Structure formats: C-alpha cells, structure tokens
Amino acid sequence: MAIVKSKTEAAAYALAVAASAALLIAAYAHRTPFSSHEAWGFVTGGWCVWLQVKENIWNWPISLVNNAVFFFLFQRERLFGDMGLQAAYFTLGAYGWYTWLFGGQAHTHAKVERSSARLLVILSLVTVAATSLLTIYLRSINDAAPLLDAFTTVLSLIAQGMLARKLIENWPAWIVVNIISIAMYVYKHLYLTALLSVVFTAMCILGYLRWRRQLHDSAREETSVLV
C-alpha cells in the first residue's frame, strides 16, 4: 500500500520528516525541556500511529523502535507496568507485522473487521481480572501509580492485540488508554510524552472514522457482488 497518493500529501510528509529531524537535533543539543529519549519516543510514536491509521505496513518496524525507546524511558521513571508493556508490544508488533501481510484469505493482506460480541465480553472480563491482579503486584514493587499503570497496561495489550488482528475496536480502547495516560505522564513531568498521548488520541479518533468507512465500503462491495 503506497504511503503517498498526491503532491500535497508528499509535501505534508516532507514537512513532518523535517519537523521530526528538527525536534531530535534540538533534544540532542539540550535546547528542549525534555530528553532525547522522549524526543525519539515522540517522533517514532507519532509516525507509527499515523501509519496505522493509513493501514500502512511500515507502522510495524517503526513501532518496534518506539517500544525499545519507551522501555528504557519508563525504566528510568519507575513505571514498571509500562516498561513491561513495551516488551509485550514488541512481541505483538512482530505478530501484527506478519498478520497484516499474510493474515487474510489465502495468506493475503488482512482486512479491517469487527470483533464479535462474545470476544468483547471475554476481553472485558479479562481486563477486570488482570487489572486487579497486576495492581496488587505493582503495589508490592512500589510502582508510582499502581492502579492506573495496571489498567492502562492491560487495556493497551488488548488494544494492541486487536490492532494486530485489524479489529476496528482497537481504536476506542486506545482512546481510553491515551486519556488516562495524559494525566499519568503530566504527574510524572513527562510533558512531551503527555503531549504525544494527546496527539495519539486525535489520531485514534481519525483512525476509527477511517477504518469504519473502509468497513462500510467493503460491505457495499460485497453487496454489489452478490446482487
């Protein structure tokens, strides 16, 4: 799937690349109030989510870099749930990369689908149970925000799994995670990472609308074929 479809879009990508480079250079030159780790997390995170919205396969290798960056950032800030989450993300990212390429019919590219009601009920029960257990563990190791860290950790894993399977419900799940994360990162003075969560929230809304439109288009195509 091509990333660029018009000259206007090409110009927008060029501007985004320039802005990303400028942010990284400023961070390394100590001209920003945030670290180079946060700058890399911001840049790679923004790119991978935007490419997820566009259903572009390149989101997965970029997301793997993003996971590695945030693993060390959260280790430093003692957000152990988020730190462990990045390792799980890395595994799910490799799985998603393969699934998007070969998870469709006859090992073709996977298409956007909806989750079944049964799956959503099961995932909701898993979220409640896993959050309760993880909260107890995070409290035992002196996590900075055990309940919120546990909930966002569990829901993020579920959302990432749904994203890997191209299930549209991943977007509402990510929106909830990002809204909670904004408050948590501001509390830890990770202001650039909090801003990234704001950007992610906007992208997730856009992603949901775009994927829903694709579902409707696919349904119309199937109906026209049957007719």
Domain ranges, ordered by start, for the chain? 7-226
> What pLDDT digit, counting tens, does each position of 207-220 carry?
999 999 988 887 77
198: closest CA among 220, 188, 183, 215? 183
Cα end-to-end distance, the chain, whole Å: 29
DSSP state of 105: G
Instruction: Provide the β-strand partners of residue 167.
Output: 113
Q: Is 134 exposed, middle or buried (0-12, 13-18, 19+ CB in 10 A)?
A: buried
User: pTM of the predicted model, to two decimals?
Assistant: 0.79
Does residue 21 surpass a pLDDT of 90?
Answer: yes
Percent of residues, the chain, with pLDDT higher than 90: 44
Q: What is the pLDDT of residues 56-103, one digit of tens each?
A: 999 999 999 999 888 888 888 777 767 877 888 899 999 999 999 887
Report in angstroms the alpha-carbon separations of 205 from 37, 57, 89, 95: 26, 20, 21, 24
On whether the CB atoms of residues 197 and 153 are closer than 8 A, the answer is no
Query: What 8-state DSSP symbol labels residue 114?
Result: P
